[in-house]
Amino acid sequence: MKFILIMSLCSFINNQCLSPVQTDGDYSSWKECTLAALELSKEIIIAQENTFINDNKVATRFICEEINKV
């Protein structure tokens, strides 16, 4: 069983998100995918301006989606 990671950047003021993006690669477990999402989320938030994050209450949203891979 493999998983892919799909992420979006969202504003929790108006509950809107940018289009979801699939990250590179796949993951061997749900846990591996979730940990990667948390690390990538941190990197994305750190890369943004403080005022953008704070004024728009921005956070990431992610999905670890199971895929059938041979």
pLDDT digits (tens, 9 = 90+) for 21-53: 999 999 999 999 999 999 999 999 999 999 999
Instruction: Kindly tell me the burial class for residue 7, based on how many C-beta atoms sit within 10 Å of its own C-beta (0-12, 13-18, 19 or more).
Output: buried
Is the pTM higher than 0.75? The answer reads yes
How much is the average pLDDT of 10-17? 94
Q: Going along the chain, which residue ranges are E strands?
A: 2-11, 16-17, 21-22, 58-67
Residue 70 — pLDDT band, cuts 50, 70, 90? low
- C-alpha–C-alpha distance, residues 29 and 52, integer Å: 33
